[in-house]
Amino acid sequence: MQLTIRMPDEQMSRIEQIAKKMGLKKSDVTRMAIKKFIEEYNDSTVEPFAKIKHLLGVVESGVPDLGQRHRNHLIKKIKGDGK
């Protein structure tokens, strides 16, 4: 399928530079950019929690009650009483 678009000269020049540097055609670079945009757009419809849930519980603070008393620990840290 074919698609025709109008672009500002500055963007077109940049696409030409990238294509030349990568040894590709302008249409290849454009297809890659559109594909990346579509993937990122699809990612933006995912709930934020789903994007980071693999990180939860990965780091250990060494403070056993940090989850329950996070405010107290933070205040101590700000005042300089905590280590």
Separation CA 10–CA 45 (nearest Å): 30
The tens place of each residue's pLDDT in the chain, 83 residues long, gives 899 999 999 999 999 999 999 999 999 999 999 999 988 887 666 787 877 888 887 677 788 887 888 888 888 889 986 55
pTM, two decimal places = 0.51
The answer to whether the beta carbons of residues 29 and 19 sit under 8 Å apart is yes
Tokens matching residue 68: 């329950």
**What local confidence, expressed as pLDDT, does residue 42 receive?**
75
Domain segments of the chain: what residues?
A: 8-54
Separation CA 81–CA 40 (nearest Å): 44
